[in-house]
Each structure stands twice: as structure tokens, then as C-alpha cells.
């Protein structure tokens, strides 16, 4: 089966079998290694991407269902000023340790700040609830999001 989609602003086509996940297509088919493969159950947020502007766990999305969709991965946020502010804040707040979960957090935080730049503490916690980190303990990640809010304001 062949699927045509737009990934990070570029038209792409991939050959896949019917049950293949978007995560697998992005990593193995297109070589976009920033989207991480961890739980494959939609529980950790490491594979977060935007599909037509909607936040998704790419491990739970069938690649075939993305025909003609716009998919944005962490690599596609490289020139985005909000994502840049989030990345800067993650570093300055000490929200990055091993780095495995960082791409997923950056995608989620960028989406939140674009959708709701004035998110309060409860909304921030709610937005980050789907992402797991085993190194930082979340306080620094929440601090990073708050710093990014100030920076983009």
C-alpha cells in the first residue's frame, strides 16, 4: 500500500502495510528519528506529532489514515519561534537530562503555547499529563513552560 502525505511542509510518499503506525513510517520510512519510539501504547508522549494541527501520539495513528494529511514532527518545528522559545527554556530551566522525552515535550508545549499562550498551572499540568520523563521529575519541565510563556508574551 502507498500513502501520500505532507511531512514538515514537504510532500512525501511511503510504502507500508495496512497496520503500520505513523510512528514507524516517520522513523523507518522517512528517517525522522526525532519522534521517539518508547511505549507504543500512547502512554508516554515520546512520539507526539501534529496531524492537521491536532496533537497525536503517532504510535496510535495508522499511517494509512494520514493520506493527504499535514504531519509536523519535532524536525518540522526547527524554524518555529514558539518551539525555539520552548527549547531555550527547556535548557535554561534544566528540563533536559537524557533527552529521550524532550522532542515529545517540545511538540506538546509548542502546541499548547500556540493554542493557549496564557495557560494557567492547571492547564499546563493537564497538557503535560500525557508525557513521561524518568529523569527530571517534571518541576523543571513545568518551569521551562512558564519561562517560554514569558518569552513569547
User: What residue segments make up the domains of the chain, in order of their start?
Assistant: 2-74, 78-152
SS (H, E, C) 81-111: HHHHHHHHHHHHCCCCCCCCCHHHHHHHHHH
Task: Supply the pTM of this predicted model.
Answer: 0.95
Residue 151, pLDDT score? 94
Please state which CATH class domain 78-152 belongs to: mainly alpha
Q: In what order do the strands lie in the sheet with 70-72?
A: 10-15, 2-7, 70-72, 48-51, 54-57
Q: What angle do CA 146, 152, 153 make, to 5 degrees?
A: 90
Q: What is the pLDDT of residues 129-146, one digit of tens each?
A: 999 998 887 999 999 999
Residue 87, pLDDT score? 97
Q: What is the mean pLDDT of residues 118-129?
A: 94
Q: What is the pLDDT of residues 45-66, one digit of tens each?
A: 999 999 999 999 999 999 999 9
Per CATH, the architecture of 2-74 is what?
Answer: Roll (3.10)
At 153, is the pLDDT very low, low, confident or very high (cuts 50, 70, 90)?
A: confident
Amino acid at each position: 500500500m502507498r500513502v501520500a502525505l505532507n511531512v514538515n511542509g514537504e510532500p512525501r510518499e511511503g510504502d507500508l502495510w495496512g497496520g503500520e503506525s505513523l510512528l514507524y513510517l516517520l522513523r523507518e520510512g522517512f528517517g525522522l528519528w526525532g519522534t521517539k519510539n518508547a511505549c507504543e501504547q500512547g502512554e508516554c508522549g515520546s512520539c507526539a506529532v501534529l496531524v492537521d494541527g491536532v496533537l497525536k501520539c503517532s504510535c496510535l495513528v495508522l499511517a494509512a489514515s494520514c493520506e493527504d494529511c499535514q504531519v509536523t514532527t519535532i524536525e518540522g518545528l526547527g524554524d518555529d519561534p514558539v518551539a525555539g522559545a520552548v527549547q531555550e527554556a527547556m535548557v535554561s530551566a534544566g528540563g533536559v537530562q537524557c533527552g529521550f522525552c524532550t522532542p515529545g515535550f517540545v511538540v506538546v508545549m509548542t502546541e499548547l503555547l500556540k493554542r493557549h499562550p496564557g495557560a494557567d498551572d492547571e492547564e499546563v499540568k493537564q497538557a503535560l499529563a500525557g508525557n513521561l520523563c524518568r529523569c527530571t521529575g517534571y518541576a523543571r519541565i513545568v518551569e521551562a513552560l512558564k519561562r517560554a510563556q514569558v518569552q513569547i508574551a
